[in-house]
Amino acid sequence: MIRKILIANRGEIAVRVIRACAEMDIRSVAIFSEADRFALHVKKADEAYGIGSDELAGYLNPHRIVNLAVETGCDAVHPGYGFLAENPELAAACAARGLIFIGPEADTIRLMGDKSEARRAMAAAGVPITPGSAGNLESLEAALAEAARIGYPVMLKATSGGGGRGIRRCDNPQELKQNYRRVISEAQKAFGRAEVFLEKYIPAPRHIEVQVLGDHYGNVVHLYERDCSIQRRNQKLIELAPSPQLTAEQRQQVGRLAVQAARAAHYRNAGTVEFLFSATGEFYFMEMNTRIQVEHTITEEITGLDIVKEQIRIADGQPLSFRQEDVQINGYAMQFRINAEDPKNDFLPSYGRITRYYAPGGPGVRIDTAIYTGYEIPPYYDSLCAKVIVRGRTWEELLARGRRVLGDIAIGGVRTTLPFYRKILEHPEFQSGRFDTGFLQEHPELLNYSLKQGHDEAALAVAAAIAAHVGL
């Protein structure tokens, strides 16, 4: 049985895994760079070990991480998301040293990580894919010929891409020529591979993804869908579960497709199957993320299931603790990714010291974060400060709770996306529950907000008064 887990990550996801371990009576081991010496995951874990002064090298070295796990007596490694989470080398290194990797097998990660291969596998399994190139493109000339066959606009994508990187829309041959080398360069720098492929652009799509779980005994279930259409440059900002844009029949259809995709990949552990949902009602497979997702929280809120605990149980050889018919949706949930970025300055990162942090509370509120008052946000990592999750029995209650919570929370010392999200929640189109991935691009006026007229100063004043009262 798993009794000790090394968490090969940092920040809020490391804290999230540590909390699951604590509830399961499993010892947790944190790793940290010198820049993360005072991070919350280091403070929360049962044990913590430095991995060097370099800000990134330690988190990206699978063999060093596995050696440390063995040296500290761990049974398993949890990769979190980002860093090595979708790197088959870490999974393979764990298997070679007799450690349990809390995720799918290396071969599955490798298959789904190559988007051209994943598309072929899904097409063979009968899962619909967007029209596109049959494989990787060997040259710009091949890309131009393929785009002419598919028809513009097209999406040029890195085969190993993810997180919104390595993707460009091309509306004509000139744009394809301009973006071809750029995407290849991005792919090489970010993913170590330069392969690219083409897909037909789907106009006004919704981004719908489905959480799946598979065990070692052939059981595969879905936990319903999330709507991630509120995004900027392919980066998700606000996520919803379930999608307010699907009918009951469409919800069942996309759930079946996700299970079909997971079975085709012989998937074990937690994963996410991502789809584009067209304006005319078709679902198209986009990719499969072979790890825990940032937005897994809202699925937990509407189903009452703990996905991280299920990950650990599955990795430990246990069968799924429930059947598909046991999974029920209870209300709606919404997650805001509070990033240390300045929306008014092209979302430029805003790193620095948190001078004041005031967390909201009340019914239906959850905060997953690794910040605290006095914490210094380092400039070397993702700008995520906190995930603010709200749940409501109805869509209307969810919106009201979201507005209230965004008015309560305050983060001082850095610029954040908080006031931007407040404006989004005020927009009638968002409130109607009818929007697509072009929502933010179509509404640049959402950036016209005033901090002085917002809630930041009032909330910070309240936080300061409370701190003074308790002698902080």
Task: Determine, yes or no, domain membership for 468.
Answer: no
Residue 291 designated active-site: yes
Same domain (yes/no): 72, 163 = no
Same domain (yes/no): 278, 409 = yes
Q: How far apart are CA 41 and CA 371, in angstroms?
A: 10
Candidate from 147-161, 188-202, 352-366 with smallest mean pLDDT: 188-202
Task: Determine, yes or no, domain membership for 149.
Answer: yes
Residue 336 reports pLDDT greater than 80: yes
pLDDT for the residue numbered 163? 65
Task: Determine, yes or no, domain membership for 382.
Answer: yes
Same domain (yes/no): 251, 337 = yes
Same domain (yes/no): 263, 147 = no
Q: Please identify, among 165, 200, 235, the residue that sits at the C-terminal boundary of a domain.
A: 200
Nearest to 147 by CA among 167, 179, 125, 171: 171
Q: How far apart are CA 345 and CA 447, in angstroms?
A: 10
Candidate from 86-100, 326-340, 457-471 with smallest mean pLDDT: 457-471
Q: What are the tens digits of pLDDT across the range 102-116?
A: 999 999 999 999 988
Q: What are the tens digits of pLDDT across the range 412-423?
A: 999 999 999 999
Task: Determine, yes or no, domain membership for 125.
Answer: no
Locus of tokens 């304006």: 279
Q: Please identify, among 161, 176, 200, the residue that sits at the C-terminal boundary of a domain.
A: 200
CATH code (residue 148): 3.30.1490.20
Same domain (yes/no): 65, 214 = no
Task: Give the model's confidence band at 343: pLDDT under 50 very low, under 70 low, under 90 confident, else very high.
Answer: very high
Q: How far apart are CA 272 and CA 270, in angstroms?
A: 7
The domain in which residue 324 lies consists of 206-460
Same domain (yes/no): 312, 264 = yes
Task: Determine, yes or no, domain membership for 339.
Answer: yes
Q: How many CB atoms lie within 10 A of CB 468?
A: 9
Q: What are the tens digits of pLDDT across the range 111-132?
A: 999 988 999 999 999 999 999 9
Task: Determine, yes or no, domain membership for 284.
Answer: yes
Same domain (yes/no): 145, 260 = no
Same domain (yes/no): 96, 144 = no
CATH code (residue 44): 3.40.50.20
Task: Determine, yes or no, domain membership for 145.
Answer: yes
Give the total number of structural domains in the chain: 3
Same domain (yes/no): 23, 138 = no
Same domain (yes/no): 285, 398 = yes
Question: CA-based Rg of the chain, rounded to a whole angstrom?
Answer: 22
> E strands along 247-399, which residues?
269-277, 283-289, 332-339, 341-342, 348-349, 352-353, 356-358, 365-369, 376-377, 384-392
Same domain (yes/no): 320, 348 = yes
Same domain (yes/no): 95, 233 = no
Amino acid at 194: A
CATH code (residue 369): 3.30.470.20
Q: Are 44 and 119 in contact (CB under 8 A)?
A: no
Task: Determine, yes or no, domain membership for 159.
Answer: yes
Q: What are the tens digits of pLDDT across the range 141-187?
A: 999 999 999 999 999 999 876 667 789 999 999 999 999 999 998 88
Active-site residue identified among 10, 119, 226, 291: 291
